[in-house]
Amino acid sequence: MQSSFSPGALLRRPEAGAFLGLLAVLIFFGIFGGLTFLQPAGMASWMNVASNLGVIAIPVGLLMIAGELDISVGAMVPFGAMTVAVVSGHYDLPIWFGIAVALTFGVLIGLINGYMVIRTAVPSLIVTLGTLFAVQGIVLGLTVLITKSTSVALVTEGVAKTIFGDFLFNGQVQVMVLWWLAITAAYIFFVHFSRFGNWIFAMGGDKVSARNAGIPTERMTILLFVLSSTSAAFVGLCQAILYNSAQVAGGQSFIFNAIISVVVGGVLLTGGFGSIVGIFFGTITFAIVNQGIYYTDFDRNWSSLIIGILLLVAVLMNNTFRKMALSYAPRKTGGK
């Protein structure tokens, strides 16, 4: 068995497009903005954006690889933030209790999403669109009912602050960056090295065959929905602890930003193809475009244009690379 590291072999990998996209934006912003965004202060700004997004984008990407979609993460971020703020801020209960309650709600909404998707034939886009609005309604309704306000303060001290919502390295880098790197490493192992990753790809490739091959597709689907909504709740509660307050709104941007990161990262929208490293690169690429614009002379408003073009180019490139991967056959030496 050969293990070739030729350029061709690299291009056939799911993360090829993401890697080239990252190079392209690095060059683009290197030319127009100088290299300030690669210096510590600049790096911190896009790493912070990437870390919050990345923790959500990876489980969303896994669902897409498995042929599902979860847009309710957009409501789970404020839900997680508001839960911890109401429990530990408004009611002044211990912060660990607030964190546990927020994460429990994350698991619960994930179970509801997953259960509805496997029990009904309704596409997960519609199911999670429903929970997106329902959870937004719960957050707004309950918060106003309980606190008579749409913004709740939360003061955290001690270990919980250090672990979940503090700044590192001269107060620039959010502790979330460390979570993001650790979680990404865990996902890489889970998806690419354990046997469970194979199941996720098989489910996205052909759900019926996967089930017939003995894969517990329903349990895996529920698990993935629980991962995505709990991750979103986790990001929300960390933001509340970091900024010492929670708002009922916000979080919707995570829906599209996560999907863009995942697709730029080389995940096939219809499932069955993608990689964690790809999503990781896709998230960084998105964050650099999102933040790098501040380091150029361009108006901030142009960043959406760049992201839109980036997305389209990435999808086209990924299609090409996938075709290359499909048509690839090792050249045989000698006759037939």
Partner 1 sequence: MSQAILSLKNINKSFGPIDVLHDINLDVRAGEVLCLLGDNGAGKSTVIRLLSGVHKPTSGVMAMDGKPVVFANPREAADHGIATVHQFGGTFPLMSVGRSFFVGREPTKWVGPFKIYDRKLANDTAVKAVQSFGITRIDDGDRLVGGLSGGERQALAIARAVHFGARVLILDEPTAALGVKQAAHVLRIVNEARRRGLGVIFITHQVMHAMAVGDHFAVLIRGAIAADFRKGEKTREQITDLMAGGEQMVELEAGIENHMAAGDGHPDPAIHAH
Asked if residue 19 binds partner 1 (CB under 8 A), the reply is no
| CB of 21 closer than 8 Å to CB of 317 | yes
* Shortest Cβ 231–partner 1 spacing (Å): 22
| CB of 233 closer than 8 Å to CB of 225 | no
* Shortest Cβ 128–partner 1 spacing (Å): 24
- Interactions with partner 1, residue window 141-170 (CB under 8 A): none
- The four Cα atoms 156, 157, 160, 165 give a dihedral, to 10 degrees, of 60
* Shortest Cβ 286–partner 1 spacing (Å): 24
Indicate the residue among 133 and 189 with the shorter CB distance to partner 1. 189
| CB of 220 closer than 8 Å to CB of 203 | yes
CA nearest 172: which of 72, 42, 268, 62? Answer: 42
- Interactions with partner 1, residue window 189-228 (CB under 8 A): 189, 193-195, 197-199, 201-202, 205-206, 209-215
* Shortest Cβ 5–partner 1 spacing (Å): 13
- Interactions with partner 1, residue window 65-104 (CB under 8 A): none
* Shortest Cβ 274–partner 1 spacing (Å): 9
| CB of 12 closer than 8 Å to CB of 6 | no
Structure token digits, residue 131? 């929970």
Indicate the residue among 161 and 211 with the shorter CB distance to partner 1. 211
Q: How far apart are CA 91 and CA 79, in angstroms?
A: 16
Neighbours of 217 (CB within 10 A): 21
Contact residues for partner 1, defined by CB under 8 A: 1-2, 189, 193-195, 197-199, 201-202, 205-206, 209-215, 268, 272-273, 322, 325-330, 332
